[in-house]
Structure 1
Amino acid sequence: MSADLSLSRRGETFLLWVLASVQFTHIVDFMVMMPLGPALTRLFGISDARFGLLVSAYSLAAGVSGLVASTLIDRFERKRALLFLYAGFALATLACGLASSYGALMAARVAAGTFGGVLGALVTTMVGDAIPYERRGRAMGVVMSAFSLSTVAGVPASLFVASHWGWHWPFMLIALVALPVWLVAWKVVPPLSAHLHGAGASSGGGPLLKVVGDRNHWRAFGLSALLVSGSFTIIPYITIYTTTNTGLRSDQVPLMYLAGGVATFFTARLWGRLADRYGKVGVFRGVSLAAVVPMMALTHLPQVPVAVVVLVTTAFFVFVSGRMVPGMAILTAAPEASVRGAFMSVNGALQSAAMGLASWLGGVLISRAPDGRVVGYGACGWLALVSTVVMVWWVGKLALHKSAEAAAT
């Protein structure tokens, strides 16, 4: 194993659920902006494109901070870095809740992205450090189930709180939840410092230069960008589109996220087990191609019964989030262990930039008809289809460091 300690299976599971809890809070913080879109556009009197910029600010800030972190992250013990970044994230999220204007909220989102983006990269780095490649699909399934928990519990609860006490309170609630999670992480996460004895321990820009100087790393970065770029022209505008074009009422939006979250909570771990058993690359390709169907259906959906909207969006969440499970397991095996933190930080930066640019592009592609309906959303679906086809071909170009104990994919 690549970690500095040998964890039992039970210890692995406990560690993974702590990391999943960290992921849960910062994913809710990112996702809650999207269903708040209609309320924020009305409150601040902004266009859909300016709202897209508000969503993008988090991702773009995460991208910049990830590049900076890539020069430093492998010089620090993983647990200490996790606790520092998580504390900063919690304070920035609290600032979002205290914001009183569009400008203040934008500044707070930039701060949250600065900490949250690096935090996400660090969590996946710790999975790569602690879990052998042969079980990393299952491990990623557990950690990625935080996305499901955020849609099942986090987003609906945040919307309920926002509808009763105002849009500020979801962010304040996330900051409050982060406090006990930080305390549990401080208490139970084991130190991970084996990487400090490798090449990643060098000072200055050494790790970054090693990461960006490797062609295989750039192939992995390309895969990572493709993984999010198509889907994030769609995701930020799901609530806006479904409430204006398909007949979904605002009070039915939590049902959409609840159904998707319940389904993906179970399927995320299923994709992880299948990836470990049948090969991560093959499962990644299969799930990615399956995701095209709900992508196209959602972006071309007319006014339909609520049950149809929920069915389509649930399938979208299941397959689009599902491809992230084997995808991230593959990406953790692209670098050597000694520079995994720097690699994942750069990867997180580029992935965040791709998400931010895709969110902005989605806002440019869509517009409003005179009757208020969204037009141009179908173009987002076609863009997602093209990126998926390229991605399925591109994944075969990666060389993976699986370690001697790993099973072949």
Structure 2
Amino acid sequence: MTNVKRLFWILFLLNLFNYIDRQVLYSVFPLIQRDLGLSDLQLGTLASVFMLVYMCYAPLVGYFADRTQRQKWIGASALIWSAATLACAAAKNYAGLLFTRGLIGVGEAGFTTIAQPFLAENYPKEKRATILAAFGLALPAGSALGYLLGGLIGQHWGWRAAFMLAGVPGLFLGILALTRLKDQRRLLQPPADKPVAKDYLALLKNKPFLFICLAHAMITFIIGGLSAWMPTYLHRYLEMDVARAGAIFGALVVVCGAAGTYIGGKLADKLLRATPKAYFWVMALALAGLAVPAWTGIQTGNVPLALTCFGLAIVCLFLPTGPIAAAIVASTRAKVHSMAFAVNIFLIHALGDALSPVLVGQASDMWGLKTAVLLCCTAAAPGLAFTWLAARLERRAPETPLP
């Protein structure tokens, strides 16, 4: 196996368990709620505390990752989030669960901030949307496995067992990353090329980059709200037990999410031959295409039709996975790629899924979960506006190198 292929597969597997460990919580929401006597608002807060820690820690990691060998951060981060997932199983009360979920955010922020630029720098620009989309397939696959395994294990052996089994593989992968990955960019970079404060401040003046992040935040808001609450939605309104709701939603995520991720990456790279705005066209298509299937799925009482519509909505939400990452790489300087992704992580979670699970939970307590889910999906409208602004302000072709 070549070094590039080994790099891809180690990062892909880490990303897979990154999402398994993140999403397993949501499939066992009803079990935790019953065991600990929690409200929907408290359940949503369990999701949001992870995101709050995740987004705040990311810029710190980005700063040091731009100056040090990144494989050390990747491996250590995997060990942290895996150990924290195991610790969730030992939590005795709500406060303990809040703390361990926050610690998972520390580990996963350290990985996600670094992994995409680390991978993208090893591939030519004309293939980046595709390879980043392939890497992004771990999101629907890992999320689906989190729902599926969490639901099945939780149904038969309890929610604590689900966390225990989810946390173990990441420990081994973290050690593998520490021993087998090499950051050649750090070894070759002259000290003078290391980023300084003005390079980071330039990110905050880079309008296309900021609007890409804001559009991504709206997509993340929707994904975060649906990821946290759709298994519970299926349980409440379509009369599925916890195991079946987790399995069905997991299947929808892995099949439709993977299809959307793959199609989005391929489509963006093909469109790039015709227009430098290819990444933005795919983002706009995804946001505009979400409305009809989301509305229809929520309004209908027909189970097959509802699941079909939810599947189409998931395809739309995952279409921009590769194009967004490629657009960030293209719109920022190589020396600050880690910090660019850190800023993106901070913004998309501060305005996205750090808010949506708890807001959906609160709206559900007030008006019911159907209305709450529908309101969550309306974030597509500002997302479309931000995409248009990013496309209009970006004057440079994606393949133009940045110093």
Same fold, judged at TM 0.5 (above): yes
Which residue is 1:193 aligned to?
A: 185
Alpha-carbon shift at residue 28 of structure 1 (Å) = 1.4
Which residue is 1:5 aligned to?
A: none
1-structure distance, mates of 2:258, 2:210: 31
2-structure distance, mates of 1:88, 1:78: 16
2-structure distance, mates of 1:398, 1:377: 35
Pick aligned residue for 2:98 from 87, 99, 106: 106
- What is the one-letter code of the residue matched to 2:357? S
Q: Unpaired runs of 5+ in structure 2?
A: 272-277
1-structure distance, mates of 2:225, 2:28: 17
- State TM-score, norm by structure 2: 0.87
Which residue is 1:249 aligned to?
A: 241
Does residue 339 of structure 1 match 2:326? Answer: no
1-structure distance, mates of 2:377, 2:77: 37
Pick aligned residue for 1:311 from 308, 321, 329: 308
Which residue is 2:41 aligned to?
A: 49
Does residue 329 of structure 1 match 2:326? Answer: yes
2-structure distance, mates of 1:33, 1:332: 31
Alpha-carbon shift at residue 90 of structure 1 (Å) = 1.7
Which residue is 2:204 aligned to?
A: 212
Confirm or deny: 8 A CA contact 1:223 1:394 kept in the other structure: no
- Which aligned pairs between 1:236-385 and structure 2 lie closer than 5 A? 236-253=228-245, 254-278=247-271, 279-298=278-297, 300-305=298-303, 307-354=304-351, 355-367=353-365, 374-377=369-372, 379-381=374-376, 383-385=378-380
2-structure distance, mates of 1:121, 1:399: 26
Confirm or deny: 8 A CA contact 2:219 2:383 kept in the other structure: yes
- State TM-score, norm by structure 1: 0.86
- What is the one-letter code of the residue matched to 2:109? G
Change (3 A) 1:286 1:199: farther
- What is the one-letter code of the residue matched to 1:393? W
Change (3 A) 1:202 1:319: closer
Which residue is 1:3 aligned to?
A: none
1-structure distance, mates of 2:394, 2:73: 29
Confirm or deny: 8 A CA contact 1:62 1:353 kept in the other structure: no
SS for the counterpart of 1:75 is coil
Alpha-carbon shift at residue 86 of structure 1 (Å) = 1.6
Q: Identical aligned pairs, as a percentage?
A: 17
1-structure distance, mates of 2:102, 2:3: 35
Alpha-carbon shift at residue 70 of structure 1 (Å) = 3.2
Alpha-carbon shift at residue 401 of structure 1 (Å) = 7.2
Confirm or deny: 8 A CA contact 1:271 1:322 kept in the other structure: yes
- What is the one-letter code of the residue matched to 2:301? Q
- What is the one-letter code of the residue matched to 1:110? G
Confirm or deny: 8 A CA contact 1:70 1:345 kept in the other structure: yes
Alpha-carbon shift at residue 113 of structure 1 (Å) = 0.6
Alpha-carbon shift at residue 152 of structure 1 (Å) = 4.1
1-structure distance, mates of 2:230, 2:22: 14
Confirm or deny: 8 A CA contact 1:334 1:399 kept in the other structure: no
- Which aligned pairs between 1:77-226 and structure 2 lie closer than 5 A? 77-194=69-186, 196-197=189-190, 201-202=194-195, 208-226=200-218
Confirm or deny: 8 A CA contact 2:87 2:100 kept in the other structure: yes
Which has the larger displacement, 242-251 or 154-163? 242-251
Write out per-residue CA displacement over residues 158-195 of structure 1, whole angstroms, 9 at most, x where no aligned residue.
22122222111222222211123224333443323348
RMSD, matched Cα: 2.7
Confirm or deny: 8 A CA contact 1:94 1:172 kept in the other structure: yes
- What is the one-letter code of the residue matched to 1:292? A
2-structure distance, mates of 1:196, 1:281: 32
SS for the counterpart of 1:33 is helix
Confirm or deny: 8 A CA contact 1:152 1:261 kept in the other structure: yes
SS for the counterpart of 1:67 is helix
SS for the counterpart of 2:26 is coil
Write out per-residue CA displacement over residues 30-77 of structure 1, whole angstroms, 9 at most, x where no aligned residue.
212222222222221111111111100000101110132233221111
Confirm or deny: 8 A CA contact 1:366 1:374 kept in the other structure: yes
2-structure distance, mates of 1:151, 1:270: 18
Alpha-carbon shift at residue 338 of structure 1 (Å) = 0.4
2-structure distance, mates of 1:138, 1:315: 21
SS for the counterpart of 2:354 is helix
Confirm or deny: 8 A CA contact 1:296 1:381 kept in the other structure: no
